[in-house]
Chain A
């Protein structure tokens, strides 16, 4: 206690002065949880707006709303499966990190990041094939905005995973030192769910 000379007596030594705060390894996880909540509400807000416009457009949902665009379903499904598998490898990495197995940790994270890049490659290919031109119509603009938001979240997730992977490479593994990696994987789980919701609303339900 820096100073208790005001109106109160100084605390007895050793009773209130501890050697230091306990470690707070969960802070990053909790902070990530709040970021996930904000991101989830952002995606929900965008998808809600999309669905409200679709409802208000008054047209029969389907190809008319898409204005001639055709959705390459197989490619987008493969992209989603790729992300799903990346969740497994990411959790494998966290599990291995908690057991102090560095080799498995790094292989798991490397696979996760590679699959993240593969996902982007496949989604960009699909969007190019659809020939969506921004500003060409209401659906195109909305699809571009909502898809872009979800892709941005996936990109943030990859960046976060990359940073925490570097931290693991620096030696942050073990039962008490895996929370940073676990936090990044938690965000990655959310990013995958956000994309899955976007895919279902925009490219399945349309």
Chain B
């Protein structure tokens, strides 16, 4: 358990572009932080810099207040889980987990104790004598985690650990990792490109784009108050719809936007007077658009196509911009068919507003709390007793 501080951390390769640009970040002791971003955003490089596998070009990195820029990975006391698991193929599971401890010249009984303890936590005991090639993907993943745990590191680093697993296993391992964090209370930095993993695992998410931190916050903060268009569209699936418009009148509590088709909408968002008359984008999540009748609804659109997921339905509406339809998501079955014209409305309390540079204006409506989920009239789901999940005990 340790605190990690990054101070103006940057990375450049030769004369080429900077891949990590002056990142400041503080990860508290015991915190689970997920670094998320599209491929090529530098998230793996950042993690590898923290691990000590990549040199730090500039800035400082501290673990528990000690500057560790020039320490080797093992001196930093980190444990790392690789995307490919990186298990030593010629060693048994036991040897894989014991390797680092042997190199650290720990006494034999201490090695055995630590390996067995890690194996017990991850339910690997029956597999200790097997070779990695005889294990399934999920088991390999657990061994890779076990190898990191056995080192009793100050800092756990996970580099896209679930991306090689199939969907069902990914959900299961996600829960196991969350349970593991609750149990070990260790500081975890976890890198993924999958915003669902970020949302479900993180206490705080760091959204990275082109080597810059776009936003840091709890999952719901990022969902409800994205700082810019990038975060707004990256967090949440399907991604947020962006509708072009112009800011007609600015205000501290309310602003009026004229949308692309001339209709005006008043939203509870603060905008500075200087922004009046500028182009803006109105953001709304697919689940927040509400249907109305063609006669009454303020907006009309043609339905391009409909995807039935079973538990929910995605409608793709003609935005006038080919290839970028707007998405409406309903939590129930829908009999709307492609080719129909539908009426819809944009509930102001769910709207986001971004300026020309993509930066968000501050929303006055907080979160989803007040909003209804469109299309659902049923009472909220409650459980008679807590759900039982068969995760690590």
A and B: bona fide binding partners: no
Chain B residues proximal to chain A, CB less than 8 Å:
none
Q: Show the binding face of A for B, using Cβ within 8 Å.
A: none
